[in-house]
């Protein structure tokens, strides 16, 4: 469902070009939960930005459900992102002047008028992330865990086919991180979204079907839950 | 070692767009101030130059209350060794012979015969030809209209013909019309040798007046001549350079200073907004500095240097641009007043003053943020916390605003300032109101971006309110000026009609005789022909001892109404040798009613009690009135050179032709009350157009503030805008949001400005101290222009800011968080 072919990404740093992704080929199946790991600067966040259409590759193809993201113009990418991709960021990226409900409904507003059906979905999501009591409060009054719940609800409001999560538990303590990961797993089990999660946390990665290890802009290793030695690898990493 | 200036330069240029916006605002502010100062000085200098050219080097002149007097009366004077230079002058009225069907009034010409065209008592700036004491000297405007060049012949009906020997620049003594329409009410003036004119007219031993220059001040000679001429029609007057009787430009200077002050205020406000925001943004930086040992004054010093740098650059670019702008403004101004004058820009002193102002005002407006930077709390800033004072501040600001606004209803000059400041302080409330009212409209227009814009507008409430207030102040002040200019024609119309004294004023170069008057009374359409006696020029002294000159006009209770009598003015005038002064003369004199004014009457130096001050259209109020019997007794003046005609019915045009036909040999001017009104009103209409241009410039300047504010708002919301884009907002939706914010700031400025303007106009119209100077009215054209320019320029400014927002790189804006 997600097809990446020979993806290259270069950035200009001053006068010099820095290659961040060097010929990445990857296939991710529909409904798969994938964790992307690797040291800082290995290219994992850049990969997420390319998948989300926030940026375009220097070379290569990205197709999501057959749609060529690499060929789309900026506006097309924005509309595609709005309808098909949900984003969860490490630092939540919520709009501080809006309430919980307004933040969650924001992508719907970006599309146009909110129908009663959509309104219902907002309420359902608020309930399902456990924020009913604070739905009319401003973001700055919430805890980190609550803010990340809002971010997850916002990412899921359009019922996107793909959910991209960039270090979703990076700013949370273990207890809150477990809650968020459990929430993601629940939604994944229920709605079968494709989830691609960038993380440094092997515990978080343990929730994924596959773990993709990045090193120097290339895929170094892919570990699948189906692999015979998956548990061994995981234990090795955790150690 | 740290180079403080270099660091400050880096700081102010970190955000280049904001730097240029602020710099541009300072530059425009300084330019407007420079332009207005240059215009004021140049206008003053131009009028002074032409007045000096008119009086040249003459110290005294000897005139008569007859058309001419015998030259032999001057024999002893001409031989006096104290007289250095002398010039004999004879004026004669006649008609030009021109091709085409011009009427007699259009062809009327005054020939001034002079004993020496090259005399130092005359200043004739030659453009072409030479002053050869043989031919005719023609002003450029007349030469152009008549299509004549040096060497061409001019024919004077019934007198003779002569060749043109010189064409000269505009000078008061030869002021002539530049088109045939103006020629209808303004005669041509040319100069020729006295001998030739004497030959043509047969007036061999007579002259109209004589000018002379003395060795030293010549006071003894003046006094002895005053005594000598006491019982004759001849009198002596010192030559005084005073153009206030022919020009009423005092109001213009107020206009110049208002525009300069307004632009400086707007520009200063923009600087304040920018520096204040910069200080708030850099609190952490200041806290670190303070934690490293910098004292409050050192931190403030950093900001002061940044402001000084901005002021310096703004002044360096603004002042030269201002001089250029001043030149353009002068051209427009002289065009408005139809002066065929040449001018040299007087820029040196204005440039010095502008440099001083340019360096000072940005610093003055930044004093609060400079102080605020120094007062940064280390702990609060490093923790990223802010004291919760916003709501308290809003209450305080709004309360003070409401009090100041209420104080505006007290009839005092300071009330105008309290209204403006009060409205500025109330702007946050207005902005909140506008945001609430417009939210549904903007949502309908722009969808969700509109809703968000209404929300974000109140997020930076004070900054956005201040920005809208800048625009509002500009609009309000220009509206007030517009109302003054618009109400002026009606006011002048009323004043001229009520004090002109008739429908047509007919001026003769010789005294009117009873026979002439009877002839005119025989005309079918004339119901009255009242002579008015005008002693002119009469020199006098202000309370400060400055020499001035004006006309003293005789009045009587049963005669034509020449001023607005409100009480017992006529009774006071008839009681004794008293005068009533027109308002401008009274102001220039500087005394109080009941005090005496010293005049050089033809009978010698006399003190007259000032019985009252009155409104009159004659010489725009730069005149004195005296009872006719007293004028005759104390001035020895009985002749009338003017008749005021009352027309029952019929065409003024036909009357004019008849007058020129019957009295053409001596008639110098025929002016209807309508023409007098028209000449005043056309200048005001021109001023109104100039004001419209100024209005657009002021709104443009205020829009730079809007652009700057929106840019600051946008930059502060980089992360939020990045998030919006990440979750599905398109670039065009982000642009719409910022455009809607700009639109609301513009609308708030317009609503607040128009409200403030209407309030100011109303208070001014009701003011007792303004003495009915302005009638209440709504200057529709100014309001329409304010709305159109305000919305357009605000949207333009918002567009520039939205460019920055849409060009933000998504990944880096998300990282900002």
CB A131 within 8 A of CB A149: yes
The CA-atom distances, in angstroms, between A109 and each of B343, B447, B561 are 63, 8, 75
CA–CA separation, B222 and B214 (whole Å): 10
Cβ contact B121:B56 at 8 Å? yes
The answer to whether residue A224 is domain-embedded is yes
pLDDT digits (tens, 9 = 90+) for B467-489: 899 889 888 887 887 887 777 78
Average pLDDT rounded to a whole number, residues B732-746: 90
Chain B nearest-CA distance from A92, in A, is: 9
Contacts of A95 in chain B (CB under 8 A): 720, 723-724
Domain at A66, CATH number: 3.40.50.300
Q: Which two tokens stand for residue A228?
A: 């015979």
Provide the β-strand partners of residue A17.
A12
How many structural domains are present in chain A?
1
Q: Please report whether residue A102 resides in a domain.
A: no
Domain assignment present for A165? yes
- pLDDT of amino acid B290: 75
- Residues written for chain B: 817
Assess contact for B197 and B135: CB atoms under 8 A: no
Best of A54, A90, A104, A167 to substitute, by most chain B Cβ atoms within 10 angstroms, is: A54
d(CA B589, CA B545): 9
Smallest Cβ–Cβ distance between B731 and the set A74, A107, A113 belongs to: A74
Which tops the pLDDT comparison, B685 or B301? B301
Contacting residues for B258 by C-beta, under 8 A, at least 6 apart: B477, B481
What does the pLDDT look like over B680-720, one tens digit per residue? 887 777 777 777 787 788 888 888 888 888 888 888 888 88
pLDDT for res B92: 92
The answer to whether A110 contacts B722, with C-beta atoms less than 8 Å apart, is: no
Higher pLDDT, A45 or B651: A45
The C-alpha atoms of residue B722 and residue A140 are separated, in whole angstroms, by 18
Helix (H, G, I), strand (E, B) or coil at B415: helix
| A119 within a domain of the structure (yes/no) | no
Chain A residues whose beta carbon lies within 8 Å of the beta carbon of residue B464: none
- pLDDT, chain B, mean: 86
> Left, alpha or beta for A99 (phi > 0: left; psi -120 to 50: alpha)?
beta
Cβ atoms of residues B82 and B212 within 8 Å: no
Q: pLDDT at position B361, please?
A: 93
Q: What is the distance between the alpha carbons of residues B664 and B632, in angstroms, rounded to a whole number?
A: 28
Residue A198: what are its φ and ψ, rounded to 5°? -90, 130
| Residue A97 to residue A190: CA distance in whole angstroms | 32
Q: Do A78 and B729 touch (CB under 8 A)?
A: yes
Tell me the longest C-alpha to C-alpha distance in chain A.
53
Long-range contact pairs involving A13-20 (C-beta distance under 8 Å, separation at least 24): A19/A217, A20/A46, A20/A217
Residue contacts between A and B (CB atoms, under 8 Å): 69
CA dihedral B182, B183, B189, B190 (to 10 degrees): 120
Q: Which residue of A has its CA nearest to B717?
A: A95
Contacts of B731 in chain A (CB under 8 A): 74-75, 78
Pick the residue from chain B with its C-alpha nearest to A156.
Answer: B727
What pLDDT score was predicted for residue B566?
83
Distance of CA B464 to the CA centre of its chain: 33
Question: Judging by DSSP bridges, how do beta strands A67-68 and A59-64 pair with one another?
Answer: antiparallel
Is A215 inside any structural domain?
yes
For residue B586 the two structure tokens come to 């009274």
Instruction: For residue B817, name the pLDDT band (cuts at 50, 70, 90).
Output: very low
Kind plus residue range of the DSSP H or E element containing B473: helix B461-499
The answer to whether residue B1 scores a pLDDT higher than 50 is no
Between CA B718 and CA B804 the distance in angstroms is 10
Q: Tell which B residues from 450 to 479 touch A, by Cβ distance under 8 Å.
A: 451, 455-456, 459
Q: How far is B728 from chain A (nearest CA, A)?
A: 4
Of B580, B592, B528, nearest to B553 by C-alpha is B580
Q: What is the pTM of this model?
A: 0.73
Confidence grade of residue B577 (pLDDT, cut at 50, 70, 90): confident
Average pLDDT over every residue of B577-604: 91
The average confidence (pLDDT) of chain A is 87
Q: Is residue A128 part of a domain?
A: no
Residue whose entry in the numeric block shows the structure tokens 């041509």: B188
Q: Which whole number is the average pLDDT over B407-415? A: 78
- B766-779 pLDDT tens trace: 776 655 556 777 88
User: Comparing C-alpha atoms, which of B19, B46, B568 is closest to residue B326?
Assistant: B46
Asked whether the beta carbons of B184 and B105 are under 8 A apart, the reply is: yes
Of all residues in chain A, the one with the smallest CA distance to B728 is A82
- A-chain CB neighbours of B724 within 8 Å are 95, 106, 110
Residue of B723, B724, B811, B817 to mutate for A, most A C-beta atoms under 10 A: B723
Over B500-526, what HEC string results? Answer: CCCCEEEEECCCCCHHHHHHHHCCCCE
Full domain range(s) for residue A187: 2-94+161-238
How far apart are the C-alpha atoms of B46 and B22, rounded to whole Å? 35
Q: Chain B 401-460, CB below 8 Å of chain A: which residues?
A: 447-448, 451, 455-456, 459
Query: Looking at the domain assignment, is residue A206 inside a domain?
Result: yes
Cβ contact (<8 Å) for B729 and A93? no
Mind telling me how many Å the CA of B327 is from chain A's nearest CA?
A: 47
How deeply is B462 buried, as exposed, middle or buried, from its count of CB atoms within 10 A (0-12, 13-18, 19+)? middle
In whole angstroms, give the CA distance from residue B106 to residue B103.
Answer: 5
E strands present in B215-364 = 234-238
Distance from CA of B439 to the nearest CA of A (A): 15
pLDDT tens digits for range B525-556: 888 899 989 988 899 999 999 999 999 999 99
Radius of gyration in angstroms for the set of CA atoms belonging to chain A, rounded to a whole number: 18
> Nearest CA to CA, how far is A81 from chain B (Å)?
6
ipTM rounded to 2 decimals: 0.75
B387 upstream amide cis, omega within 30 of 0: no
Q: Are A109 and B731 in contact (CB < 8 Å)? A: no
Digits of tens for pLDDT over chain A (239 positions)? 899 999 999 988 777 888 999 999 999 999 999 999 988 888 888 999 899 888 899 999 999 999 999 999 888 888 898 889 998 888 888 888 788 998 898 888 877 767 888 889 899 989 988 888 999 888 888 888 899 889 989 998 888 999 999 988 888 888 888 888 888 898 888 888 999 999 988 888 888 999 999 989 999 888 888 887 777 777 776 55
Asked whether residue A130 is assigned to any structural domain, the reply reads no
């Amino acid at each position: 469902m997600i097809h990446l072919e020979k993806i290259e990404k270069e950035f200009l740093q001053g006068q010099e070009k820095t290659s961040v992704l060097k010929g990445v080929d990857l296939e991710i199946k529909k409904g798969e939960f994938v964790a992307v790991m690797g040291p800082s600067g290995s290219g994992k966040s850049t990969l997420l930005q390319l998948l989300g259409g926030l940026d375009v590759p220097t070379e290569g193809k990205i197709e999501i459900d057959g749609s060529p993201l690499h060929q789309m113009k900026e506006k097309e990418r924005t509309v595609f992102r709005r309808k098909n991709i949900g984003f969860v960021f490490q630092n939540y990226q919520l709009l501080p002047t809006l309430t919980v409900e307004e933040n969650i409904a924001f992508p719907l507003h970006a599309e146009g008028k909110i129908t009663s059906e959509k309104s219902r979905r907002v309420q359902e999501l608020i309930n399902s992330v456990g924020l009913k009591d604070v739905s009319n409060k401003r973001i700055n009054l919430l805890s980190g865990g609550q803010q990340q719940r809002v971010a997850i609800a916002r990412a899921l409001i359009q019922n996107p086919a793909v959910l991209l999560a960039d270090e979703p538990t990076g700013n949370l303590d273990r207890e809150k991180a477990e809650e968020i990961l459990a929430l993601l797993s629940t939604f994944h089990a229920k709605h079968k979204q494709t989830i691609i999660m960038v993380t440094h946390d092997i515990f978080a990665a343990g929730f994924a079907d596959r773990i993709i290890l990045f090193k120097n802009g290339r895929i170094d290793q892919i570990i699948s839950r189906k692999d015979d030695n998956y548990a061994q690898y995981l234990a090795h990493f955790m150690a | 070692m740290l180079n403080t200036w270099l660091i400050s330069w880096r700081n102010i240029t970190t955000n280049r767009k904001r730097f240029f916006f602020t710099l541009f605002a300072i530059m425009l502010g300084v330019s407007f101030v420079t332009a207005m100062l240059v215009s004021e000085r140049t206008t003053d200098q131009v009028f002074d130059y032409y007045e000096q050219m008119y009086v040249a080097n003459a110290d005294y002149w000897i005139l008569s209350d007859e058309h001419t007097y015998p030259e032999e009366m001057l024999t002893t004077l001409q031989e006096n060794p104290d007289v250095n230079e002398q010039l004999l002058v004879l004026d004669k009225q006649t008609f030009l012979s021109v091709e085409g069907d011009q009427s007699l009034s259009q062809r009327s010409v005054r020939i001034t015969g002079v004993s020496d065209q090259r005399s130092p008592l005359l200043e004739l700036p030659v453009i072409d030809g030479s002053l050869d004491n043989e031919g005719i000297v023609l002003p450029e405007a007349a030469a152009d209209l008549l299509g004549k060049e040096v060497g061409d012949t001019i024919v004077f009906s019934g007198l003779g013909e002569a060749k043109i020997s010189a064409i000269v620049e505009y000078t008061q003594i030869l002021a002539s019309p530049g088109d045939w329409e103006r020629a209808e009410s303004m005669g041509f003036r040319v100069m020729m040798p006295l001998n030739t004119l004497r030959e043509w007219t047969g007036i061999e031993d007579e002259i109209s007046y004589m000018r002379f220059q003395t060795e030293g001040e010549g006071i003894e000679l003046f006094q002895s001549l005053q005594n000598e001429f006491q019982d004759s029609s001849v009198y002596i007057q010192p030559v005084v350079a005073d153009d206030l009787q022919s020009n009423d430009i005092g109001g213009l200077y107020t206009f110049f200073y208002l525009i300069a002050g307004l632009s400086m205020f707007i520009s200063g406000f923009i600087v304040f907004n920018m520096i204040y925001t910069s200080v708030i943004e850099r609190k952490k930086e200041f806290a670190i500095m303070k934690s490293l040992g910098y004292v409050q004054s050192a931190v403030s010093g950093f900001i002061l240097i940044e402001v000084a740098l901005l002021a310096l650059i703004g002044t360096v670019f603004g002042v030269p641009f201002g001089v250029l702008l001043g030149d353009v403004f002068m051209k427009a101004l002289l065009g408005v007043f139809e002066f065929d004058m040449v001018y040299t820009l007087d820029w040196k002193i204005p440039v010095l003053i502008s440099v001083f102002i340019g360096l000072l005002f940005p610093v003055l407006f930044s004093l609060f943020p400079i102080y605020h930077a120094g007062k940064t709390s280390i702990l609060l800033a490093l923790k990223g916390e802010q004291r919760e004072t916003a709501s308290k501040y809003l209450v305080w600001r709004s309360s003070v605003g409401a009090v100041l606004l209420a104080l505006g209803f007290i009839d005092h000059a300071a009330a105008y300032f309290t209204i403006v400041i009060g409205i500025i302080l109330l702007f946050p409330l207005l902005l909140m109101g506008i945001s609430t009212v417009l939210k549904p409209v903007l949502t309908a227009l722009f969808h969700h971006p509109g809703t968000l814009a209404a929300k974000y507008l109140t997020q930076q409430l004070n900054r956005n309110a201040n920005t809208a207030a800048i625009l509002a102040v500009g609009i309000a002040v220009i509206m007030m000026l517009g109302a003054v200019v618009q109400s002026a024609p009606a006011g002048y119309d009323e004043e001229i009609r009520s004090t002109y004294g008739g429908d047509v004023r007919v001026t003769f170069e010789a005294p009117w005789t009873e026979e002439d008057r009877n002839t005119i009374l025989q005309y079918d359409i004339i119901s009255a022909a009242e002579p008015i006696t005008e002693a002119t020029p009469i020199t006098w002294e202000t309370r400060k001892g400055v020499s001035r000159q004006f006309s003293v006009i005789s009045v009587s209770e049963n005669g034509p109404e020449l001023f607005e009598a409100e009480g017992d003015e006529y009774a006071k005038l008839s009681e004794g040798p008293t005068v009533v002064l027109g308002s401008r003369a009274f102001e220039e004199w500087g005394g109080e009613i009941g005090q005496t004014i010293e005049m050089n009457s033809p009978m010698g130096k006399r003190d007259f009690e000032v019985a009252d001050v009155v409104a009159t259209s004659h010489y725009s109020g730069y005149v004195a009135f005296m009872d006719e019997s007293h004028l005759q007794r104390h001035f020895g003046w009985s002749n009338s050179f003017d008749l005021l005609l009352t027309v029952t019915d019929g065409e003024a045009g036909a009357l004019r032709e008849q007058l020129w036909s019957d009295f053409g040999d001596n008639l110098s001017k025929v002016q209807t009350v309508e023409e007098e009104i028209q000449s005043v009103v056309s200048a005001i209409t021109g001023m109104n157009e100039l004001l419209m241009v100024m209005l657009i410039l002021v709104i443009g300047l205020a829009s730079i503030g809007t652009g700057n504010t929106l840019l600051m708002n946008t930059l502060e919301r980089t992360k939020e805008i990045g998030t919006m884009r990440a979750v599905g907002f398109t670039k065009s939706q982000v642009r719409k949001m910022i455009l809607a914010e700009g639109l609301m700031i513009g609308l708030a400025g317009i609503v607040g400005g128009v409200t403030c303007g209407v309030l100011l106009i109303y208070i001014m119209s009701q003011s007792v101290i303004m003495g009915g100077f302005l009638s209440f009215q709504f200057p529709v054209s100014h309001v329409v222009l304010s709305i159109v320019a305000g919305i357009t320029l605000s949207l333009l400014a918002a567009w520039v800011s939205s460019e920055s927002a849409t060009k933000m790189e998504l990944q880096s804006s998300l990282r900002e968080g």
